[in-house]
Amino acid sequence: MEFPISRMRRLRRTEPLRALVRETHLEPNALILPLFICPGEGIRKPVDSMPGVCNLSVDEAVKEAEAAAALGVGGLLLFGLPETKDEQATGAWDDNGIVQQGLRALKQSSAAKKLVLIADVCLCEYTSHGHCGIVKKSGDDYEIENDSSLELLAKTAVSLARAGADIVAPSDMMDGRVAAIRDELDEEGLDQIPILAYASKFASAFYGPFREAADSAPQFGDRRSYQMDGANLREAMREIDLDLGEGADMILMKPAMPYLDVIRAARERFDVPIGAYQVSGEYSMLQAAFAKGWLDPQRAMLESLLSIRRAGAGFIVTYFAEEAAKALG
């Protein structure tokens, strides 16, 4: 049927009409807020490259969690800034590590009943060299060892689950880590803890601001020997397939906006819950434009989140979680 019988504008005339035919919706409870927990008390240290984001001491993280819960945000993704770093990433798997302390405090708070507490499982914030696995050096050469890293990652996941994580989310991109983590969790009686695998994680320039927030920039080299090449969609499908085969309960796609086609392909192929991470650089570039007055903050924020939902993500990890929940509320 063609014009003038078809007139697409008929259903766009009023907001109630537009709402009736809207295909994609944003809900605060499908937004996850990342938090960076640091030592100390009463600390809210702003991250320069991420306006509105702070490193929070445990007490402040609890306050932030309560505010997020009151806004209807669905959950938190926790990262840690340890007091000290070493080659074995002790701070990651230590039962007294910073995120473990945070989890115990959050579990005691009223926010815990409303929020899903997700613990990121990785070594890069805790290793002195900033890589996501164990580094083996020989002369000027180095190698990020896969198999020896698995044991530490599994130990980290168990420690975080014991401290109160509702979900563990490995983001390191070592081969076999989902199976190693599932094995160790089950052995420790933690068989009810789901694994959210960062199955499709690309080596991306858009993680830049995060590395300031989490103090996790690699001291040498880059992450291209373990994170995926941005050119490869088929490889992402294989990564997801493998992680699901190893027992991942849900998958996380990352970054989001520069990889919407990968999210769409995953949605069409895999019948598991899929989340997407709107990463630090995606957030910061929008914030930079807001600061210049170049974009309408609320509309651009919601449109960016909507694009990720429309691509097929069921839930979104985003530094805008609280702002978006406010705007949607």
For ligand PBG, the binding residues (CB under 6 A) are 120, 122, 124, 132, 171-172, 207, 210-211, 216, 223, 279-280
Least Å distance between CB 3 and ligand PBG? 46
The token duo for 67 is 């505010």
User: Catalytic: which of 45, 63, 254, 292?
Assistant: 254
- 108: how many CB neighbours lie within 10 A of its CB? 11
Least Å distance between CB 132 and ligand PBG? 5
Which residue(s) pair with 127 in the sheet?
A: 86
For the chain, first and last CA: distance in Å?
A: 39
DSSP secondary structure string for all residues of 18-34: HHHT------GGGEEEE
Least Å distance between CB 207 and ligand PBG? 4
DSSP secondary structure string for all residues of 175-227: TTHHHHHHHHHHHTT-TT--BEEEEEEB--GGGHHHHHHTT---SSS-STTTS
Q: Which is nearer to ligand PBG, 105 or 196 (CB)?
A: 196
Least Å distance between CB 256 and ligand PBG? 10
Does the annotation count 254 as an active-site position?
A: yes
Q: Which is nearer to ligand PBG, 223 or 309 (CB)?
A: 223
Does the annotation count 107 as an active-site position?
A: no
Q: Which is nearer to ligand PBG, 33 or 124 (CB)?
A: 124
User: Catalytic: which of 85, 155, 201, 326?
Assistant: 201
Q: Which is nearer to ligand PBG, 171 or 304 (CB)?
A: 171
**Cα 273-214-293 angle, rounded to 5 deg:** 85
Positions annotated as catalytic residues are 201, 254
